[in-house]
Amino acid sequence: MLFARVASFLFAAFTFGLLASANPVAEVEKRAVSADTVVTNLQSTVSGLVTQLQGISTNTPANSAQATSLINEIVSAINEANTQAKTATSEKKRDATEAAIAAVLASVVSDVAIVLNKLVVIIPALGPLVVSVDVALNTLVLSLDVVVAGLIGTLNTLLFGVAGILNGLGFSLLLLTLGL
């Protein structure tokens, strides 16, 4: 009788011991991308979407739906870039990288602002979507500024020419961050 109790205890301990000693699944290592790669990928994604938005010239339900979808895709692309920027690394050539990243990011911001400025006039119902673009761009700029020190100051200089458009669209978060 004692043997049955000891045997069942040993069997249970042995079973759980095998489960606990199994090799864990190796975690997939996330590769950090450079901040330059993040903004370059964002620019290539957004430029195609901006081109499609530029083709909208009238306020029809189909155009409104298409514009809404494309603006949401732009926000998604910016948010994806923000996720990558949080794990991004900075290049060793600090000044050249800062200027290059700022130039590409300024191009993205100005392209989006210019096309949205035109679209909000054509399709006024798109106005509320502008806030989501502002929040996404502001978050991306702040994330990249952590990786590339001095990015905000350089962006401030590059985006000075479109500050009026940004202000007209209501990009208040981005304007405050940039000090424009």
Tens-place pLDDT, residues 95-123:
457 788 888 888 999 999 989 889 888 88
pLDDT tens digit sequence for 8-33: 665 555 565 555 555 555 554 455 67
pLDDT tens digit sequence for 45-95: 999 999 998 888 888 888 889 989 999 999 999 999 888 888 876 655 454
Residue 42 to residue 79: CA distance in whole angstroms: 10
Q: What is the pLDDT of residue 1?
A: 61
- 143-165 burial by CB neighbour count: b if 16+ within 10 A, else e? bbbebbeebbebbbebbeebbeb
Kindly tell me if the per-residue pLDDT of 169 is higher than 70.
yes
Residue 114 to residue 169: CA distance in whole angstroms: 10
CB count in 10 Å sphere of residue 119 = 24
Query: What region, left, alpha or beta, does residue 179 occupy, with left being phi > 0 and alpha being psi -120 to 50 degrees?
Result: left
- Residue 130, phi then psi, degrees to nearest 5: -65, -35
Contact predicate 111/47, CB 8 Å: yes
Kindly tell me if the per-residue pLDDT of 179 is higher than 60.
yes
